[in-house]
Structure 1
């Protein structure tokens, strides 16, 4: 039976024709939307760029000729909210507008705030507050654009309450354009309250503002909101100890604080009768000079704070205010603080473990002072002294460091996933975990290593090296980093035909740091970094080097070694290439490293170090030694006795290290990198690893590694 269709051919044709029209229509609409969106985004980007260009970095120069701002009588400032926490008074949504995980801090332009009668809210800006603002402006946190700011810092000097008019200053704060009841504003204060009450809080109407203060007690401090800072002492630097930190000191404990409470003074006087050779009590001399102290009941004078360098422990008492100059003065002299202040909130207490650096004695138990200190072992004293110096140099030695540490703490609150852990804040570099790799004690042999060869255009030497490396049993892959952008590498068909894969990676710029890039093609834990002219190593030497690295996977293990020394004439660090009994560096022209170090070099190496290396085409191997030693606090390991590493096929002018200027630059590198890392991390050692039975008179068939060069 035949079934006739109900749709004629002509109708089918018109139907398909209409469908194509619809498709064309929607496609045109889609194109219009894309073009409109693109134009809109372009205009938005241009407008944002124009908007950003309006804001310029403030200049903190002429603080005497500031423009006046007359305070009007409108608006009532709200008092400080004592219940504030990070979660209800801090607007987290103001942060993150800059496109990176870092707080942006805006500093208001300095102005002179006056009332209707011309009276100023504050005195002339202090030197300390000017340094504080300058530290913020020069920091990585600063932004000139208030619309992208996460934290706002007034340019009103609130460090010392005695130098301001609280009512006028509160009105000045309230007049700030982004004040909003103090939300996300940071107020710095080191001297709070006035006589006779001496409040632990600055007596301003601060609303929801964060307070970075030096006089907090446990009742006034808002945990995880406020920041406790130290009372900065301008004279602390005069007492900084540049001598041997562990030298013997004349006094066990010293009390040097002025205007001591009569109760504390009475207890100390009783103790001094029994411990006159261990306890020193000094006070102001008759003609008062802060840099002089006189022994109690005596005319014997001492220079202060240098006096504290001769004492093991220094007493810190509660005064009219909690914050005391003597805390930083003692720490600068490497004197261990003995804190006798019940309820005190020590500086940066939410990140610093003060029990590692200070002794705490309750006020009512001051009479046990000498018994408590006498029970502290010499080893513990040494550790505490070193911690005191570390904390002072890291966080307290200048207004700049106090300011930046305060911002670092707020940064960790806002971005906890990037925050520093306990070890980062409290442990000296030599105390930190010495193996960041979390590897087995001995790396598996079966994994083998990848040879990464940095080359430019020495093709013959490169091919010779690849051929020799192919004889090393543990080699898994060869990666050639071609650092020449003007010339193409030879085709793989012209490379030596070996049983292991060879990969050529062309770089976009001729940089020495390219050798340490963590390429995806590196699949093994171990990397043999080697220059294209190191063709003299035998297969036995390379295999033995890998075996040693398996035992020490967190170290640099290699062949050419160097050392460093201090030059007393130039007062700088020097690079030493002479053959000595000590080594402190193994050059990465032929060395095994864990691939973790390539990642760390690329992501965590100080930018000024990496940029200097690439600009001068020198010292990338020294930089890597600094990086590894700074992290592990361990020296490298030299293997085999070979010391000569000259390319037999190369003429002297082809070798980068043949230039005398090259050696001078390397000394400059060592000194420059020590400053960049903040210390000299390189460790010297008189150690070299050689194969068992290396020189024993045994038949060669009993030795595993026979082909080991002598020099």
Structure 2
């Protein structure tokens, strides 16, 4: 713009001069307004493509296809071509990433891509879903950086997308975007004409999110590693912390009002020198390291800013701080599958003044559970670009192949807390099949024959399998065995190992196994039948009679085996227990090698190992049946019994401690529970009771 400035001898010289200066200042100010951006936004470093690959060059002409318009009514059922995913011969989606190219628009030849978007492309390529063949691809990811709206040339980027070889109006394309819109509108959706493409975005609200089609992802923060703590600290000095920069003055006033009523609220804002990793207390200007300060707070506020998505969400989660979402209508990351009510508190913007009332009502136990769940969600889904990308693809996988999709527990319950039934049995196992009694014996024929005669009277017994563990002495002929109405099979083992009782013998044809030692002759037929009935209700657990527990020894700093008569149990010994035969297969094929070697070398603890195995997979405790706690063989002498060894208890404790290290955790679950028959001790006529002969303590 040219300004006409009068000569010095003009009478209006000074007047016009000052007017010109004022106009120039106004023009500069208007220009700054149009390019102004808040300092607290996340800007990603750029990586030149020429430093990554030797790239082909494609010149885009102005005469391109007319760009498609974003279809706001898209759903999975009408904007996604499912047939692309079902005719490739794969049982999962296949994702193709367009090759990196350098695009020219005739003016700027410096095409760039952010490091963050490059990590996203790398994560897709490294995932199990990637395919290098576009003809078998179910999903396409452009190699055009759409992560931040601030770095986009909207018209130019739209031209690039619409000229992709397989674009087809955006069908089956996935666009990743974390920062949508520009000032001053800050649109919650990336401002590109992407047609029918799915958007994995971080700024959605309930008005712009296409449910079941788009995917809500978080804004990734470059300082997450600074926030992470090695373990959850439950004793935190600050109850509530607000650390977001430049929040709405109305919210700030609400926080100050809350702070005036209680002493353990920390309100932080940016310091005068504008360092993102520093925050200053608003009243004292005391500086704090950020985001490390979040590790000292139980709850962290998350407000809406210029955008709905906030880096503060992941920063608080990385620090183990429970997010308090003070927004109306937010779309939380991966809301399709994650239950955020287990990890966050939601408060409407109009009810911020009730925040402390809500938070104070949360019990300490619930707070600890939420802190643990926050850590689980962060570590599983949000701690890296790789996890964010893989989770977004997993969600699409479950949409396309729901028959193999994960259920609620798979997404929302950590493996340590998850209970599962790997047997795929009905809720109650059928009675008709009955059970097989597997008896491990060495050379105690008298007690063995007594046991066979007793269990033969159990109605649900189908078969007896005797595992003969003596290699130097042959078992007696079947004609010498008690003559009973049920078939008997005798299996000779190749080596004297306690693990032989858990081999998946083909002679076992029923689902249920009664594992029983040859000296357990005191159980009645009613007790055994009732034990089988209880197992039918809990077919994925060990159900039986002798119970034990484990305790932590603060003196030795190790786990200890405990056999005292306590009401709390964590193990049911397989000397007399029902379980599913599937566990024999896992014991043989999936038990940690060190555990199996320990059992064979020490000739002990195979029953503890089985309890570890089942609990490690199901995360469920065993079930004790009936009140009996004495399991001694009256016909056997003490020197014949393995448990008579004075060092037996010490060695069993060593087993528990060693198995914990081998499994990488303590899987045993303690419980105070016992199953007794209905009417067991009620004063009813005996003929009205199904199980009369139940032993006492």
- In the other structure, the counterpart of 1:108 is 97
**Helix, strand or coil: the match of 2:663?**
helix
Deviations 1:431-469 (A, max 9, x none): 8779997757xx999975322569xxx997899968844
CA 1:633–1:136: 2 relative to 1, 3 Å: farther
**Helix, strand or coil: the match of 1:328?**
helix
Q: Distance in 1 between matches of 2:100 and 2:250?
A: 46
Query: Structure 1 residue aligned with 2:248, among 253, 261, 268?
Result: 261
Query: Structure 2 residue aligned with 1:325, among 304, 308, 311?
Result: 311
- In the other structure, the counterpart of 1:411 is 397
Deviation at 1:154, TM superposition (A): 3.5
- In the other structure, the counterpart of 2:78 is 88
- The answer to whether the 8 A contact 1:239-1:332 is kept is yes
- The answer to whether the 8 A contact 1:251-1:312 is kept is yes
**Helix, strand or coil: the match of 1:68?**
coil
CA 1:608–1:535: 2 relative to 1, 3 Å: closer
Q: Distance in 1 between matches of 2:194 and 2:122?
A: 23
**Helix, strand or coil: the match of 1:540?**
coil
Query: Structure 2 residue aligned with 1:301, among 287, 293, 301?
Result: 287
Q: Distance in 2 between matches of 1:612 and 1:684?
A: 25
- In the other structure, the counterpart of 1:122 is 112
2:347 is the alignment partner of 1:370: no
Deviations 1:167-188 (A, max 9, x none): 4544444454433333222222
Deviation at 1:225, TM superposition (A): 0.2
Which 5+ residue runs of structure 1 have no aligned equivalent?
1-61, 653-657, 694-702
CA 1:503–1:402: 2 relative to 1, 3 Å: farther
Deviations 1:530-553 (A, max 9, x none): 6xxx43332628974664564465
CA 1:452–1:396: 2 relative to 1, 3 Å: farther
- TM-score, normalised to structure 1, is 0.68
- The answer to whether the 8 A contact 1:121-1:165 is kept is no
Q: How many residues align?
A: 601
CA 1:468–1:651: 2 relative to 1, 3 Å: closer
- In the other structure, the counterpart of 1:633 is 620
**Helix, strand or coil: the match of 2:86?**
coil
Q: Distance in 2 between matches of 1:606 and 1:226?
A: 44
Matches within 5 A, 1:388-467: 388-427=374-413, 449-452=435-438
Deviations 1:294-349 (A, max 9, x none): 11021322232232233332211111211111112222333332222223211122
Q: Distance in 2 between matches of 1:590 and 1:276?
A: 59
- In the other structure, the counterpart of 1:471 is 454
- In the other structure, the counterpart of 1:359 is 345
Deviations 1:503-551 (A, max 9, x none): 69999xx9x8995869896446x42246xxx433326289746645644
Q: Distance in 1 between matches of 2:327 and 2:214?
A: 20
- The answer to whether the 8 A contact 1:191-1:215 is kept is yes
- The answer to whether the 8 A contact 1:64-1:124 is kept is no
Q: Distance in 2 between matches of 1:522 and 1:137?
A: 46
- In the other structure, the counterpart of 2:168 is 180
2:51 is the alignment partner of 1:68: no
**Helix, strand or coil: the match of 2:266?**
strand
Q: Distance in 2 between matches of 1:167 and 1:620?
A: 69
Which 5+ residue runs of structure 2 have no aligned equivalent?
1-48, 600-605, 643-647, 682-691
2:322 is the alignment partner of 1:336: yes
Report the RMSD for the aligned CA atoms in angstroms.
5.3
**Helix, strand or coil: the match of 1:265?**
helix
CA 1:607–1:481: 2 relative to 1, 3 Å: closer
Q: Distance in 2 between matches of 1:563 and 1:224?
A: 47
Which range moved further: 199-208 or 625-634?
Answer: 625-634
- The answer to whether the 8 A contact 2:327-2:348 is kept is yes
Q: Distance in 1 between matches of 2:168 and 2:436?
A: 59
**Helix, strand or coil: the match of 1:225?**
coil
**Helix, strand or coil: the match of 1:95?**
helix
Q: Distance in 2 between matches of 1:163 and 1:518?
A: 65
CA 1:661–1:423: 2 relative to 1, 3 Å: closer
Deviation at 1:259, TM superposition (A): 1.9
Deviation at 1:260, TM superposition (A): 1.2
- TM-score, normalised to structure 2, is 0.69
- In the other structure, the counterpart of 1:348 is 334
2:147 is the alignment partner of 1:159: yes
Q: Distance in 2 between matches of 1:588 and 1:176?
A: 64
Deviations 1:617-668 (A, max 9, x none): 9789746644446535335549745599x9999999xxxxx9x999999866
2:528 is the alignment partner of 1:540: no
2:296 is the alignment partner of 1:310: yes
- In the other structure, the counterpart of 1:78 is 68
Q: Distance in 2 between matches of 1:518 and 1:156?
A: 58
